[in-house]
Chains A and B, each alone.
Chain A
């Protein structure tokens, strides 16, 4: 344990401080008066559940968001302006984002040159020097790969280390802060150890590392200090020695909110007893690149949630269940029809509706009006094949708009002018119009404000009470706690636990997602 290093750090003043960081988005204070001190020779873990504001905080530090007034940041004793320094080459804060930001089709040399600048004269690149620089940087982090080969050939951890090397490449021995945003999401446990070795070396050489993660076990292994955020605020901050996994989990989850407490009352769980027993969606041995054999049923009137960390296979389950993943295999039964291969089209015909995770890229047709987006799935029922009855379309669309609580005069406006919550209601309405038997939702409340989120939850409960089978895959624990009758917790591509009734609470879900001996992948 790095106790010695911590003591040394304690005696000095912090290398980087940020005070009173706040940012207000329309309707919500995403980060609220957060202060953070980072010391050289320390790994500082930043923890919090999804939506707690830690990603937004990272974006403020990166100068990506203009924070509210009052923020003060210092580096090495002197004040700095985060937004202004963003573009500067000597920016002391270095970031490795979750997606690494590498171009996998290019080589390590190319990737390094792209961000550090090309060597050589103005008219020709000195490839020999480029390759040499790349080799040097990679060697520093224990990566042995041919810098001229495309990165797609490299392992996940080599790519991660390359991203770190590139982030620090031009700094030499200068003081710096390294921000690692969930770097282990895609790594196996042996790979995680290699990354940790590199992080420890950096720490011992003087880096201040801010380490953002979801994984509890890692925090105790790598961090010297830990800060927990919840609802945009710092809830707790201190040395890791003073923490236990249980304490951390409860800090991350917080006290049950009023809504959650309400949700625990028997009235909400009525669906468990009143629910029909027939399965509207039954999936057996569902497999894909990131799912390794999943079985589940969703009965009529039931809302089933799928939880799991990034990379647990949770994201793919909804897509695979709806036939949207070309590489998925398994056996599906939708509303009585069975399939050994499933395309979205067949699923839709059988009575399934699918709301994908990315509202803009995969859900909405941005160039369409609200009306056209709403009616897209129901077109076959409007008039004949040679004539679309636009009168019926408008009448029914108006009815749907008011039933989902969007003002009816919005019918002809471009769908992009609606708020995120209303856009999501349009996507729900698109399917509900067809009166489906099954609705599969991915991240249904992402980017939706509190009020609209409540309305969406209410809508789902109503529809379920009327007999709709709902499957929700989400990273937002509130979705699970507020509406789900059953929660499947995914880990490493399989359903690790199934929670029902009172067991569906933020702490239990978090614990089921995270408490693990470390990821072991097939």
Chain B
């Protein structure tokens, strides 16, 4: 009777992917069930298929490194969505914020003598500012997050074009110390991969092992019930939008170091992929809840498949086709499972 209409517009219960988010039981055999970690089995199948198909190039250590390194940024940008999606808000500006951070990074490196840490911090602060705008639009003004972040994303794009003058910003300093962000490694694993794993670990702890994480899930599932239980739903949503912007900024810094350029059109293409992976991740491990390790798993499945496809020389459309099929397949399987064991009322 007395609820805010904001969430209802955004997430009608029947349309929600996250229908019944019951954490996996503790017993190992149910944990290993395809219902819980179906993506792992898909990953194994993909590895087997490509190992047979391209036995010389696919099953090598180099391939593993390529997959990890190429997907670290995808992983970070997808992980940036875990918190806001869990809190029931969309952040469609992450691709643009990522691009903005990379352009700001490159611009400051090329046009100023500021030391690298200051440059990185500046890029992250700009991202945080974008997140603050999102939070103000969505939480303060009550604008639907889908539309609000689309609008703020367009403004971020304008800033990208303004700063870059529609050209990739390159310069010597991008190749010097700054590039270490992309290439320094521990035991063959590069910094971006470690960064992705650290981000995933932090998010996992936040969502699974703190009261805040539980309240974020409660806000996303039923904001009104959460509010009436004393949860500061607005504050959590605002914080979730700040976190996604900062993580998107981080992804922007990393991609800038990886390609040694601040390109005006490098961020936006990550947007769809990030959403696809985050939603695919929500079907894994803690079915129905957006979660960090499920998202990392989804990144690996899609990344492995795409790398395999390029190694066997598949046509260009193959990548998108593969991503689309895996995502829709996972969602369809999850829906069918839900329908089969729909919770029935018992005494």
Which A residues lie at the B interface, using CB under 8 A?
A: 26, 315-316, 319, 322, 324-325, 344-345, 347-349, 354, 356-358, 361-369, 372, 375-377, 379-380, 382-383, 385-388, 390, 412-414, 416-419, 422, 430
| Interface bits B30-48 vs A (CB < 8 Å: 1, else 0) | 0000000000000000000
A365 in contact with B228 given A379-B211, A416-B20 (CB within 8 Å): no
Q: Is the CB of B226 within 8 A of A345?
A: no
Complex CA–CA separation, A400 to B228 (angstroms): 21
A368 in contact with B229 given A379-B215, A416-B343 (CB within 8 Å): no
Q: Is the CB of B20 within 8 A of A366?
A: yes
A344 in contact with B228 given A376-B218, A412-B25, A417-B346 (CB within 8 Å): yes
Q: Taking the nearest CB of chain B, how far is it from the CB of A52, in angstroms?
A: 23
- In the complex, residue of chain B having the shortest beta-carbon distance to the beta carbon of A319: B2
Q: 7 additional contacts, CB 8 Å, given A364-B222, A365-B218, A387-B210? A: A322-B228, A357-B1, A358-B1, A365-B225, A379-B215, A388-B214, A419-B345
Q: Is the CB of A430 within 8 A of B229?
A: yes
Contacts of A358 in B (CB 8 A): 1
A388 in contact with B230 given A362-B3, A365-B221, A419-B345 (CB within 8 Å): no
Complex CA–CA separation, A377 to B289 (angstroms): 20
Contacts of A357 in B (CB 8 A): 1
Most buried by A among B230, B232, B288, B289: B230
B194 in contact (CB, < 8 A): no
Complex CA–CA separation, A26 to B346 (angstroms): 10
Contacts of B213 in A (CB 8 A): 388
The 9 tightest CB contacts between A and B, nearest first, are: A348-B230, A379-B211, A367-B21, A367-B221, A416-B343, A365-B221, A419-B347, A417-B343, A365-B222
Q: Taking the nearest CB of chain A, how far is it from the CB of B22, in angstroms?
A: 5
201-238 of chain B: CB within 8 A of chain A: 209-215, 217-218, 221-222, 224-232
| Interface bits B309-347 vs A (CB < 8 Å: 1, else 0) | 000000000000000000000000000000000011111
Q: Taking the nearest CB of chain B, how far is it from the CB of A433, in angstroms?
A: 11
Q: Is the CB of B20 within 8 A of A324?
A: no
Q: Is the CB of A367 within 8 A of B18?
A: yes
| Interface bits B265-301 vs A (CB < 8 Å: 1, else 0) | 0000000000000000000000011000000000000
Complex CA–CA separation, A368 to B289 (angstroms): 10
- In the complex, residue of chain B having the shortest beta-carbon distance to the beta carbon of A359: B225
Q: Is the CB of A362 within 8 A of B214?
A: no
B10 in contact (CB, < 8 A): no
Complex CA–CA separation, A367 to B20 (angstroms): 4
B180 in contact (CB, < 8 A): no
- In the complex, residue of chain A having the shortest beta-carbon distance to the beta carbon of B19: A367
**Interface residues of chain B: helix, strand, loop or mixed (majority):** loop
Subset of 15 A-B contacts with CB under 8 Å: A324-B227, A324-B228, A347-B230, A349-B230, A357-B1, A361-B225, A362-B3, A364-B225, A366-B13, A367-B222, A367-B288, A368-B218, A386-B210, A414-B22, A414-B343
Q: Taking the nearest CB of chain B, how far is it from the CB of A348, in angstroms?
A: 3
B23 in contact (CB, < 8 A): yes
Most buried by B among A345, A367, A369, A418: A367
Contacts of B25 in A (CB 8 A): 412
- Interface residue total, chain B, C-beta cutoff 8 A: 38
Complex CA–CA separation, A364 to B228 (angstroms): 10
Q: Is the CB of A362 within 8 A of B221?
A: no
Contacts of A379 in B (CB 8 A): 211, 214-215
Contacts of B343 in A (CB 8 A): 414, 416-417
Q: Taking the nearest CB of chain B, how far is it from the CB of A357, in angstroms?
A: 7
Q: Is the CB of B23 within 8 A of A385?
A: no
Choice from B209, B221, B230, B345 contacting A368 with Cβ under 8 Å: B221
Contacts of B345 in A (CB 8 A): 416-419
Q: Taking the nearest CB of chain B, how far is it from the CB of A83, in angstroms?
A: 22
- In the complex, residue of chain A having the shortest beta-carbon distance to the beta carbon of B220: A367
- In the complex, residue of chain A having the shortest beta-carbon distance to the beta carbon of B211: A379
Complex CA–CA separation, A362 to B2 (angstroms): 9
Q: Is the CB of A376 within 8 A of B214?
A: yes
Contacts of A367 in B (CB 8 A): 18-22, 217, 221-222, 288-289
Q: Taking the nearest CB of chain B, how far is it from the CB of A489, in angstroms?
A: 21
Choice from A356, A369, A387, A416 contacting B228 with Cβ under 8 Å: A356
- In the complex, residue of chain A having the shortest beta-carbon distance to the beta carbon of B233: A345
Contacts of A356 in B (CB 8 A): 225, 228
Contacts of A361 in B (CB 8 A): 3, 222, 224-225
Q: Is the CB of A388 within 8 A of B228?
A: no
Complex CA–CA separation, A187 to B167 (angstroms): 66
- In the complex, residue of chain B having the shortest beta-carbon distance to the beta carbon of A315: B1
Choice from A344, A362, A385, A419 contacting B210 with Cβ under 8 Å: A385
Q: Taking the nearest CB of chain B, how far is it from the CB of A152, in angstroms?
A: 14
Q: Taking the nearest CB of chain B, how far is it from the CB of A364, in angstroms?
A: 6
